[in-house]
Structures are given as C-alpha cells and as structure tokens.
C-alpha cells in the first residue's frame, strides 16, 4: 500500500510517502505564510520525487498544528497519536517517547498496543525547544546543524544558569564577550536543553525503553546528554526523527 | 543633615540625596560592568553636580544588585533589599499606598505594605522575561522603536493585533510575522503593551491588589502598560510625584535617615 503522511508543524512542514512501512520519499520545507499553497506544492513535489502520480496514492493523512491545510487528507490525526503510532511500528518495546519539536516538548507514555495512554506537553515556554536551541546557537554564530560538528571539540562546558530563553541569550552573549570558545558555550546550551527535557520526562516516571523524536532529536550532542540523565534503554528512532509524525500519519492510512 | 540612597538595577543605577525630609537631588545612569562601579559612578556624578563631598552625607543605604558589595566597598553604611526600599519609598512619596507594582529591567515585583509601613507580602518574577522590562526591550528591538516610543506609539493604535503567546521568544516570532505582513507598528505596539500588562496582572493577583496602587521602576513610564494594568486590575494607579525609577533609591535614603539618626 502506498500512503502519504503530511505533518504541518509550526516551523517546518514534513511529508513522506511510504510503501507499507518502507520510506519511499520525504520532503521538509519551512512553514511560512501561504500554508495551503505550500502544502499543495509539497505534496506535488514529493510525488514527483517518488515518480508517482497523485492519483495512485492509496491514502493521505494530515497531522500537526496546521493539519487542516492538508485538504486532500482522508482524515486528520493528532500528532501525538501519530508519533506514538510511528514509535510502535518501528520500536514495539518502547514505552516512552519524548518529542522535541520546534516550539514544544512532549513526553508520551505508550501501552504495548501503540496507543498513547498519557502525555505531558510544554508549548507555553520556549525553553528547551528547537526554537530555543536555534536562537541560542545562532547567538554564538553556530547554526543548529553544525552543533554536532563542534561540540566534540569542547573541553569544558560553560554553565548556563537561567531557564528563560531571553535571559539565557544574555548569558550566552556575556560568555562570548568573555572570550569563551563557541564549542564550550554550545556544549553548555545542549546541557541546558537536556536538563529541561529530562525534567519533563522524569515527572512522568521513567520508561524502561525510550526513544526521541522531533527535529532536536537529530542533534546527537543533546540526545547523548539526555540519555546520560535518563534511566532505561535508549532505542534510537530508526528513521529521520524529524519525520516521525508524518511517518505515523502515513502508517495510519487504512486499507480500503 | 544629608542622607543618601543608591539603587543599582540591572539596566540603570540611581542615587538620591534627601535633606530636611525632601529629595534635594537625584541622578540616574546606565549600569557599568559591575554594581560597585555603577554605584561609585552614580554617586560620584551626583556629588560633583551638587558640589558636595561624600563625607558630608551622614548615612548612605545601598539596595538592588550587589548592594552587599557596595557596602563592603564602604560606599554605603548599610544595605537593604529592594523589596523594602521600593515599599518604603512609595509610601513615603504617597502615604496611602498599599500595593506597589515595580517592574524593573529583568524582574517584576508586587509589594503589599500595611498602613504602618510594614511589608505584608510580596511576589516576584525573575525567572521568566515575560512581564519584565526585558520583554519590552526585546519587542522594541524587533519593532525597531525605542523603549520611550512604545507607550506613545500604542496610543495611535486602531486595530491592535492578536498576540497569543506568553513566552517572549514566541511573542517575538509573532511580532515578526505581523511586521512581515505589513501590520501597523502602532497596532503591534498596543498588543505588546497589553501582553506585558497581562503578565504583570497575573503576578499581582497572586499576592492580591489592595488600593491605593502605584507603579515604580522604568516600565511605569510607559503610559500604555499603566493604562492596560488599570483596566485589567480595575484600579486607578496613583501617579508617582517623581521619576518612578528613583523610588527604590528614595526608600534607601529614607532608611538611611532613620538609621543615621535623622528622625
């Protein structure tokens, strides 16, 4: 069965085509102004990449905060349910999923069937989110996708004491002015994200086996520091973690 | 006899001198890299301007950031928390005041005093930039206007935009989006001031608001934030009879007079 999942997030729109649970094609674009047109173009471009006709798809499911813009969708599903479903499909033993998205952190407890039995979400405060890491590492002059290149060179982690992104930014600027090395500051920022994420996951009690999804889960420097603080076994999400909700959506298409 | 108060904040530092129950001089400066240097500079400039020498001031109290270091350095003879100084300063200026909403550069405090001048309760936010002067600073940077312009600008608003986030970082994104879509700066400014007032009002409700109410700190100069706070809390703010940024330093000077035997 060929299915398409489309996750319209606050910062990025993601779409995937699956052949059963095998990833055929994927595309990520920034979510900007004209979302309806962007979604249409995204689906068109993805189908072209996969060398496929839009009409030959067996189904489309939309998700994410802008899910309603996926007008062609057979149905919409909550992104938490999609992420849970994707985790269950590839990692059936995982009972805790922590999604670190552009503007939110969500911890989800799964039962053995792939259903989310409980979740906790922070989308009120930017601390620890992708936006936070992006703004802070840019203040050091390091784009978010270069973090993993420079953090291994760090010899000491600078300490970041504030939680609020605005105050952390001032701390970072002070560190830059004091001549601290970018890699040491960014290592401190990764630690600060890990601290915030872990404190949410811990409030849930620890899972025996956990995984990370969302864009920030691609930053190994952050994932390693969270894993250091967590109990239980870390099982890496076997696909691009940024695509987890889109993949879950595509997996939820029901056969006719 | 002369008495002095020095208040070092996160962005500005103030010094005042009182004589015979009157504020005879004050000075406000932008802060230096450390609080002792800020205190030395602000009091130094004030003394020079007034043509008086430090030893002519019988007693100085320091308050604000690094108030202990300022005392250790010998610039002041005692130090008192900014909560007490703002409460005492506001009541000395406006005897009927029970609630003081002090919004500084990096924090916000709501202070409740009883009729005998004792501190009853207070609540403070210094963990989150929302509802502090810092929030307005970030938004002004995005809007490309100065802090002084923000209040007057929002008075020209016709259709304030909708800012839904609480977090400063998310609000910044919202403001940026409105700017890109060509929204009127005045309409955005009005919403920024409203969002600011909503955060402060939520803080104030935690401690309870008892009339008379007044504002101190730099943000008290923003008339739009003040008007929004009056609307949300359903109170009238007593206007500060002096620069609202020197209320803390006045409180410190009043305490100096008491400690130094001036009354």
pLDDT digits (tens, 9 = 90+) for A89-106: 999 999 999 999 888 999
Task: Find the mean pLDDT for residues A160-170.
Answer: 93
- Do the domains spanning B1-94+242-263 and B96-239 agree at the CATH topology level? yes
Contact B170 A135 (CB under 8 A): no
Same structural domain for residues A146 and A65?
no
User: What average pLDDT does range B225-251 have in this prediction?
Assistant: 95
Give the domain ranges of chain B: 1-94+242-263, 96-239
pLDDT, tens digit, 9 for 90 and up, residues A22-56: 999 999 998 877 888 889 999 999 999 999 888 88
* Contact state of B127 with A124 under an 8 Å Cβ cutoff: no
Cβ within 8 Å, pair B181-A131: no
Same domain, A135 and A205: yes
User: B134 and A103 in contact by Cβ < 8 A?
Assistant: no
Contact B42, B26 (CB under 8 A): no
Is there a contact between A167 and B170 if contact means CB atoms under 8 Å apart? Answer: no
Across A135-155, average pLDDT = 93
Q: Under 8 Å CB-to-CB from B199, ≥6 apart: which residues?
A: B108, B130, B131, B135, B166
CA torsion, ordered A189, A192, A196, A198, to nearest 10 deg? 110
Crossing angle for the helix pair A165-177 and B133-143, to the nearest 10 degrees: 80
pLDDT tens, position by position, B39-53: 999 999 999 999 999
Q: Are residues A86 and A194 in the same domain?
A: no
Cβ-based contacts of B130 with chain A (< 8 Å): 164
* C-alpha torsion sign, points B92, B113, B62, B104: negative
Query: Domain check: are A128 and A194 in the same one?
Result: yes
Of A33, A162, A165, the CB nearest to B169: A165
- How far away is chain B from the Cα of A31, in angstroms, using its nearest Cα? 12
| Residue of B62 and A33 predicted with greater confidence | B62
Q: What is the pLDDT of residue A80?
A: 94
How large is the average pLDDT for residues B207-225?
94
pLDDT at position A201 is 87
Q: For residue A205, is it left (φ>0), alpha (ψ between -120 and 50) or beta?
A: left
Minimal Cβ distance to B170: which of A33, A103, A163? A103
> Which of A33, A126, A167 minimises the CB distance to B170?
A126
- Answer whether residue A203 shows pLDDT above 90: no
Which tokens sit at B129? 């930039």
Kindly state whether residues A164 and A214 are assigned to the same domain: yes
Position of tokens 């039962």?
A111
Contact A163 B127 (CB under 8 A): yes
pLDDT score, position B69: 94
- DSSP conformation letters of A206-231: --SEEEEESGGGG-HHHHHHHHHH--
The CATH code of the domain that includes A110 is 3.30.420.40
Report the alpha-carbon distance of residue B213 to residue B237 in Å, rounded: 5
Least confident of A80-84, A102-106, B250-254: A102-106
The percentage of residues in chain B with a pLDDT greater than 90, rounded to a whole number, is: 89
Whether A14 and A139 share a structural domain:
no
Note whether A80 and A167 are same-domain residues: no
Q: Contact A126/B106, CB-based, under 8 Å?
A: no
CB-based contacts of B16: which residues, under 8 Å, 6+ apart?
B4, B5, B23, B25, B26, B27, B46, B246, B249, B250, B252, B253
Q: How far apart are CA A119 and CA A110, in angstroms?
A: 9
- Radius of gyration for the alpha carbons in chain B, expressed in angstroms and rounded: 19
Residue ranges making up the domain that contains A42: 1-91+240-256
Say how many domains are in chain A. 2
pLDDT value at A153 more than 90: yes
Query: Pick from B166, B168, B181: which is nearest to A166 by CB?
Result: B168
Q: Which positions in chain B touch A135 (Cβ < 8 Å)?
A: 169
- In chain A, what percentage of residues exceed pLDDT 70? 99
- Residue B247: which of B215, B201, B206 has the closest Cα? B215
A28 shares its domain with A99 = no
Q: Which residues of A touch B168 (CB under 8 A)?
A: 126, 164-166
pLDDT tens, B75-102? 999 999 999 999 999 999 999 999 999 9
Task: Give the model confidence (pLDDT) of B108-117 as tens digits.
Answer: 999 999 998 8
| Rg of chain A (C-alpha set) | 19
% pLDDT > 70, chain B = 99
Question: In this structure, are A115 and A209 located in the same domain?
Answer: yes
The CATH class given to the B96-239 domain equals alpha beta
Most A CBs within 10 Å: which of B105, B169, B170, B175, as the mutation test of the A interface?
A: B169
* Average pLDDT score over chain A: 92
Q: Read off the pLDDT band of B263 (50, 70, 90).
A: low
What is the predicted pLDDT for the residue at B181? 85
Over residues B183-197, the mean pLDDT reads 95
- Minimal Cβ distance to A166: which of B169, B173, B181: B169
How far apart are the C-alpha atoms of A47 and A94, rounded to whole Å?
A: 32
**C-beta atoms of A125 and B128 within 8 A:** yes
> Which ipTM was obtained for this model?
0.83
Tell me the C-alpha distance between B34 and B69, whole Å.
10
Residue B224 is inside which H or E element, if any? Answer: helix B223-233
B-chain residues near A65 (CB < 8 A) = none
Edge-first strand order for the sheet with B119-125 is B119-125, B108-113, B99-103, B213-216, B237-238
Do A75 and A104 reside in the same domain of the chain?
no
Q: Provide the shortest C-alpha distance from residue A71 to chain B (in Å).
A: 24
| Cβ contact, residue pair B106, A167, below 8 Å | yes
- Residue in the structure block whose two tokens are 């005042």: B16
Smallest CA–CA distance from B33 into chain A, residue = A174
Q: What is the chain A residue with the closest CA to B169?
A: A126
Stated as kind and residue range, the H or E segment containing B27 is strand B22-30
CATH: 3.30.1340.30, 3.40.367.20, 1.10.3720.10, 3.30.420.40. Which one for B1-94+242-263? 3.30.420.40
Q: What is the mean pLDDT of chain B?
A: 94
Q: Are the C-beta atoms of residues A88 and A113 closer than 8 Å to each other? A: yes
Q: What is the pLDDT confidence band of residue B103, given thresholds at 50, 70 and 90?
A: very high
A223 and A130 in a common domain = yes
């Amino acid at each position: 069965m060929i299915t398409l999942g489309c996750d319209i997030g606050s910062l990025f729109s993601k779409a995937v085509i699956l052949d059963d649970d095998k990833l055929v094609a994927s595309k990520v674009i920034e979510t900007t102004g004209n979302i309806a047109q962007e979604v249409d173009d995204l689906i068109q471009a993805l189908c072209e990449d996969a060398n496929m006709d839009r009409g030959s798809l067996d189904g489309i499911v939309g998700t994410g905060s802008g899910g309603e813009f996926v007008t062609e969708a057979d149905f919409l599903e909550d992104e938490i349910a999609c992420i849970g479903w994707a985790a269950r499909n590839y990692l059936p033993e995982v009972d805790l999923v922590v999604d670190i998205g552009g503007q939110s952190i969500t911890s989800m407890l799964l039962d053995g069937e792939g259903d989310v039995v409980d979740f906790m979400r922070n989308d009120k405060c930017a601390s620890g989110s992708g936006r936070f890491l992006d703004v802070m590492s840019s203040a050091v002059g390091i784009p978010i996708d270069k973090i993993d290149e420079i953090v291994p060179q760090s010899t000491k982690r600078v300490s970041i004491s504030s939680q609020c992104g605005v105050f952390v930014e001032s701390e970072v600027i002070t560190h830059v002015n004091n001549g601290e090395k970018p890699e040491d500051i960014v290592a401190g920022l990764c630690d600060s994200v890990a601290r915030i994420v872990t404190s949410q996951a811990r409030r849930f009690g620890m899972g025996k086996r956990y995984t990370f999804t969302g864009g920030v889960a691609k930053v190994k420097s952050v994932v390693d520091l969270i894993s250091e603080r967590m109990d239980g076994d870390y099982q890496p999400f076997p696909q691009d973690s940024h695509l987890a909700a889109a993949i879950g959506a595509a997996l939820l298409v029901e056969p006719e | 006899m002369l008495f002095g108060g020095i208040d070092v904040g996160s962005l500005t530092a103030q010094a005042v001198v009182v004589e015979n129950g009157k504020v005879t001089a004050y000075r406000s400066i932008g802060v230096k890299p450390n609080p002792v240097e800020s205190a030395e500079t602000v009091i130094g400039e004030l003394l020079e301007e007034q043509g008086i020498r430090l030893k002519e001031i019988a007693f100085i109290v320091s308050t604000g950031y690094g108030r202990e270091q300022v005392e250790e350095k010998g610039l002041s003879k005692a130090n008192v928390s900014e909560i007490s100084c703002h409460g005492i300063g506001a009541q000395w200026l406006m005897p009927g005041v029970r609630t003081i909403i002090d919004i500084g550069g990096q924090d916000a405090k709501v202070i409740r005093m009883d009729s005998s001048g004792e501190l009853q309760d207070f609540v403070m936010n210094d963990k989150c930039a929302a509802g502090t002067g810092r929030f307005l600073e970030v938004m002004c940077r995005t809007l490309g206007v100065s802090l002084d312009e923000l209040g007057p600008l929002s008075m020209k608003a016709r259709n304030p935009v909708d800012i839904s986030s609480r977090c400063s970082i998310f609000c910044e994104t919202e403001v940026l989006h409105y700017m890109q879509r060509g929204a009127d700066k005045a309409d955005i400014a009005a919403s920024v001031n409203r969002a600011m007032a909503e955060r402060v009002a939520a803080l104030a409700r935690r401690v309870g608001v008892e009339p008379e109410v007044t504002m101190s700190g730099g943000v008290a100069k923003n008339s739009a934030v003040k008007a929004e706070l009056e609307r949300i809390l359903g109170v009238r703010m007593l206007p500060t009879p002096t620069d609202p940024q020197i209320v803390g330093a006045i409180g410190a000077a009043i305490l100096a007079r008491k400690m130094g035997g001036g009354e």
